Structures are given as C-alpha cells and as structure tokens.
Amino acid sequence: MDSNPDSTAWRRLIEMVNIFRRRGGQWIPVILILPLAAGISHWWMEHRPSPTEDASLFESEPSPQPYSISGQFEKNQTITHVLLAEGLTTETVHEIVNAAKPVYNLARVNAGRLYQLYFSADGRFQDFRYYLDEDRYLTVYHDEENSRYIPAMEHHAYETRVEHITGSINSSLFATVAELGERESVAVELSDIFSSDIDFNTDVRKGDSFQALIERKYLNGEPSKNGAILAASFTNGNKTFTGFRFEDANGKPAYYAPDGSAMRRAFLKAPLKVIRITSGFSTARLHPIHKVVRPHLGVDYGAPTGTPVQAVGAGTVTSAGWTSGGGGNTIVIRHTGGYETRYLHLSKILVKRGARVGQGNVIGHVGATGDATGPHLDFRVYKNGKAIDPTKVVFPPGDPVSKGKMAEFTELCVELTNKLKDTL
C-alpha cells in the first residue's frame, strides 16, 4: 500500500471528481483542483495519526486478571451457605472445611467476621481467608500441583509507627480525645495511667492538657489499630504528671514516674471510669428517702444501671450479697494495710465470698437496690475499721522499678522524653 500522503490525497480527490462526473456534473478545470489538492495534502500531514495511535486502534482487550471477593458473615449464616452463594462447588466447600479442622473449626463462624475468596484469572479457586480478630486470620489455599488444600493460621503483617498526640481539655478528657479523632480507648488508657493521681470525674479542669507517644498499627499503609501508649504526661492545674511504660523484672508492663516510682498506687482513686459525684462524704446528711439527718460514710457516684464497677485494689471478698440497712446488693473487700472497701446498691454481683480480686477487676454493676432514689454506686473506704472520705484518702504507692532494672529504665526515659520534646 502506498503510504505517501500526497499520492493518497490525489487518489481521494480523483475519486471525488469521478463521482461528481458520473452524477452529471460539469468538468472542473484542473487549475481549480490543484490548490484544493495541496490543501488536503497539507491538512493530512498535520493531522494524520501517529504510528502508535494507528497501532492502538487494533490492540486487543486486556487479558483477564486474578480477582477476589470480600464479604461479611451475617447472623445465622453457615460457612457452607456463604461459600456456595459465592459460587464455589459443594466439593470445594467440603474440602475447605475439612482441611481447616486441625487449625480452626469453621462450623463456628461468627456474625460480623470478614472473609475473602481469591480466584485465578480463569476463575479457579485459590485461597479462602477468615478473619478471627485484629491480629489473626485463617487461610485455606489450594495447592493445585499436589491437589490438596492447606490450612494455616496467619498473623497480619502490621507496620508499627510511634505517633504523637496532644490535646487541651475543654469539657472532659473523653470529649477532647474524640475531637482529635482518636478512639475512646485512648482516653480510657490515659485515665488508667494517671488514675491514682487524678480523678478524671472531679479533678479535671478546662485548660488542662496532655500529650502522649502512642504506637499505631498500620496494615497495607492504612492505620488499623492502636498499640500501647509508650509515654504520656498530663498537666492538671499547675502540676504535671508523667509516666513511662516499662517492663520490670517480672516481664509485666506498667507505668512509672521518671524517678522509677509506680504511677499506679495500691488503690485506684475511684471504682468507676466515667462517673459524677451526686453526694459526698458527710457525718450529717439529710437522707433523701427517710428524711432524717444521719451520717453518709461514703461517696455516691451517679451512673447508669449496668455500669461496670471495679475493685479499687487487690484483696479478698469478705461479703457479697444482700445486706440490711438499705445498702441492697453489697460487696465488701478486705485489702492489705488495714483497708476495707464497700460497694453498695449494685444491680448485679459478679464475685463470691472468699474470692481473690485484682485491682481494676470488674466485680459488679451499678444499680438502685436497697434504699436508693436512682441508679448510683455508694462507695466506702475504711481504715482499721474507721470510715474515711474516699476522695481525700492518700493510698500507699505500688512497687517501684527494681534496682537491677533502674539503669535500663533511666535510659528509656531519656529516649522517650526527647521524642516528646521533639514533637512539640
């Protein structure tokens, strides 16, 4: 084929002239045709498609690619029902379920859990994944070469980054953390770290501030979940508290002040995480039901029915059940050092007499049993048999960093303190 643009233009022009003549047209003088031919040739040279563009017109469609299907198990769905609905054969489903048994029983799939199916470009099944939690997933893949299905429990390949967060309190710690776009768990962890020094229900004021170094877990480049808080400080009024996460000789992580003293004392300052004081400690209070003045030897914390109640310190349950005198469902715990704590008006009791409980263990739920006008917790503290104000008692500190680990702890403090300063 002649690729010369001029000859192509001439050929097309002659065809047009012949068509015109066959239809009875008059002869067109050649002198008029020549300029027209030159114009067509010039236009063709400027606008003709490039060789690449010409070739692209004849390219074939992209070849098929491997693909995947994602879904979520709904209530009352079974593994068989879901995989058949996704197009797998009964035989393939049977092979997957049987192969998985040594690792995980797929008869126990839970509503809300995610799954994925992977297929080759020609639609052959390759892999099934069932996500058990944030850290693990079950995989059953088809080994085509050996014609078998292989199960394995895998862990997500998280990338851990240390990030800095900071905030200034306007109304509450929980509200400020939410405004920063952080999860509520961050506020819970911060309140736990400083709970022995700050009552976050009564002590926090507008203008208080905090900062923290927190591990962030990334999956495929996207933030997935939070790890531990490595270091944090909280300024409450004109006093700043700082804590560092460190594993002591027993291998258990805890938070310590820069001098190595434990951030968490032997007792928490309050038995509830989110509360408000509705009635304080008093030797002469007008009882809201009986309308008589008598001592109120505890602090009333208002909270919805069912709110978890935690033991403020480790100890032994000496009483758990209904009590006379208006306390309703009550738990009494004996602690070391002559301390005793009492938890009144519970809707539910989760421990039995004689049980050992640890600090922070949930022992019951807030209620309104006994003489109560509404759901609340009446919390009481006794020292050597004498009632004391829970909001004013200074509990003994926990165990400090051991001498053998102090040098390592000091080095960690310097490193994390520099990171906090660098990010301000």
Q: For residue 329, what are its two tokens?
A: 């469902």
- Give CA–CA dist 54/387, Å, rounded: 94
Q: How far is CA 79 from CA 259, 387, 401, in A?
A: 55, 58, 50
Q: Is pLDDT above 60 for 36?
A: no
Q: What is the pLDDT of residue 292?
A: 46
By three-state DSSP, how is residue 400 classified?
A: coil
Q: What is the pLDDT of residue 13?
A: 53
Cβ neighbours for 31, distance < 8 A, ≥ 6 positions apart = none
Q: Is pLDDT above 80 for 22?
A: no
Whether the CA torsion 192, 195, 201, 203 is positive or negative: it is negative
Q: What is the pLDDT of residue 283?
A: 44
- Give CA–CA dist 116/105, Å, rounded: 17
410: closest CA among 243, 258, 212, 228?
A: 258
**CATH architecture type of domain 67-155:** Roll (3.10)
Does the pTM exceed 0.75? no
Q: What is the pLDDT of residue 19?
A: 52
Q: What is the pLDDT of residue 49?
A: 56
Query: Cα 256–208–236 angle (5° rounding)?
Result: 45
CB 150 within 8 A of CB 140: yes
| 72-81 pLDDT tens trace | 999 999 999 9
Q: What is the pLDDT of residue 331?
A: 95
Q: Is pLDDT above 90 for 52?
A: no
Q: What is the pLDDT of residue 210?
A: 95
Q: How large is the average pLDDT for residues 45-52?
A: 59
Q: What percent of the chain has pLDDT over 70?
A: 79
CB 243 within 8 A of CB 253: no
Domain 276-388: state its class: mainly beta
Can you give the three-state secondary structure of 158-174, one letter per residue? CEEEEEEEEEECCCCHH
Please state, rounded to an integer, the average pLDDT across all residues of the chain: 82
| 332-346 pLDDT tens trace | 999 988 999 999 999
CB 162 within 8 A of CB 215: yes
Q: State the pLDDT confidence band at 138, using cuts at 50, 70 and 90.
A: very high
- Which DSSP state fits 133? S
Q: State the pLDDT confidence band at 152, using cuts at 50, 70 and 90.
A: very high
- CATH code reported for the domain at 159-256: 3.10.450.350
- Give CA–CA dist 370/345, Å, rounded: 6
Q: Is 285 exposed, middle or buried (0-12, 13-18, 19+ CB in 10 A)?
A: middle
Q: What is the pLDDT of residue 277?
A: 65
Cβ neighbours for 349, distance < 8 A, ≥ 6 positions apart = 320, 321, 329, 331, 363, 364
Q: What percent of the chain has pLDDT over 90?
A: 48
HSE of 273 in the Cβ direction (CA atoms, 13 Å)? Answer: 19
Q: What is the pLDDT of residue 4?
A: 53
Q: State the pLDDT confidence band at 48, using cuts at 50, 70 and 90.
A: low
Q: How far is CA 316 from CA 113, 270, 355, 361, in A?
A: 39, 18, 6, 12
Q: Regarding predicted confidence, which is higher, 367 or 325? A: 367
Helices 5-22 and 30-47 pack at an angle, to 10 degrees, of: 130
- Which DSSP state fits 107? G
Q: How large is the average pLDDT for residues 368-373?
A: 85
Q: Domain locations in the chain? A: 67-155, 159-256, 276-388
Q: Is pLDDT above 90 for 267?
A: no
Fold: same for 67-155 and 159-256? yes
Q: How far is CA 409 from CA 7, 243, 404, 418, in A?
A: 88, 12, 10, 14
Q: For residue 45, what are its two tokens?
A: 């040279």
- Give CA–CA dist 180/166, Å, rounded: 9
Q: Is pLDDT above 60 for 424?
A: no
Q: Is pLDDT above 50 for 21?
A: yes
Of 66-70, 194-198, 381-385, minimum mean pLDDT range: 194-198
CB 98 within 8 A of CB 146: no
- Give CA–CA dist 303/281, Å, rounded: 17
Residue 159, number of CB atoms within 10 A of its CB: 12
Q: State the pLDDT confidence band at 248, using cuts at 50, 70 and 90.
A: confident
Q: How large is the average pLDDT for residues 168-196?
A: 90
| 353-363 pLDDT tens trace | 999 999 889 99
